[in-house]
Amino acid sequence: MGEESVKGANLGVILIIFAAILALGLIVFMLARNMANTGLTSVSEKLQAAEESEYTDFDGTVVVGQRVHAALSGFKGKKVAVLIATQGFTDKLKQPYAKELTSGYVKIGVGTDGTVKLKDTLLQPTANIGAGDGRVFNVAYATAAADGNALYTTISGGSASDTNSLRNLTFIQYNALLEATDEKGVTATSTINKAKDHTVIKYDNGTYIFDGTFRTDGGKVVFDLDFANLSKTGMTEFVPGAARFHANLLKDANGVILGVVFQQVGN
């Protein structure tokens, strides 16, 4: 009887010790999991902050052309749209300012057979975008988020009071290209040539907004990495290194950064 009591007591002690070890292990596991989750959250926040820091210089600032070139180089091949409007490009825009965009603007230069010619359509015949008809690119028109009216800019020597010098604020798209839209900035319409048509973005209190995503082909983002003309004096796309540019961010409807937008000061 005494031996059975001792055995029972020993078994109880063993069970208590086992339970204590189990509880301790559970506590350690919970602490480790919490630390891991905290660590992952911290890492995620730091990664997000690092990504956003890439855009800090372009959030409502003024930069020089050399910084625009650096941005193109730094973002090259990444899913980042880079939109540029130089004074030289604006001076070569052929169409007069239209307060209300039409489908003709987003389809300008795009033939019914899918061919694209920008000289003598979007641009004046004197525009220098390469030999012959020059190279092909997509543009983005800017409208006001508040009322949908197109934003305007002026050619060199022009003024806002001279309607003949007004042009629609138009950007050339570089790097990752934005989806094609209709004249209202809507991407999901049957009239859009998704491969060729241009884009409409909105401007709202210092930030450009795009209600879409990047242009794709076969599930892959489409890029325009032909930056050569931006460094060649005399080309319509030339970005002067010493010129000043307004720099603003381009975001989607959820506030996710899609790219950066540069407009030459005085443009």
- What's the pLDDT score for residue 198? 97
10-residue averages of pLDDT along the chain (267 residues): 60 72 75 64 48 84 97 97 98 96 95 90 96 93 97 95 96 98 92 94 97 96 97 97 97 96 88
The answer to whether residues 64 and 173 belong to one domain is: yes
pTM of the model: 0.81
Domains in the chain, number? 2
The answer to whether residues 89 and 107 belong to one domain is: yes
CA angle, residues 214, 216, 219, in degrees to nearest 5:
125
Contacts of 7 (CB under 8 A, 6+ apart): none
| Distance between CA atoms of residues 251 and 150, nearest Å | 18
CB distance 141 to 168 below 8 Å: yes
The answer to whether residues 95 and 208 belong to one domain is: yes
- What's the pLDDT score for residue 12? 66
Q: Which two three-digit tokens encode residue 192?
A: 């859009």
Q: How far apart are the first and last CA of the chain?
A: 102
Shortest CA distance to 194 belongs to which of 218, 226, 210? Answer: 218
CB distance 227 to 74 below 8 Å: no
- What's the pLDDT score for residue 18? 72
**Domain of 123, in residue numbers:** 59-264
The answer to whether residues 140 and 22 belong to one domain is: no
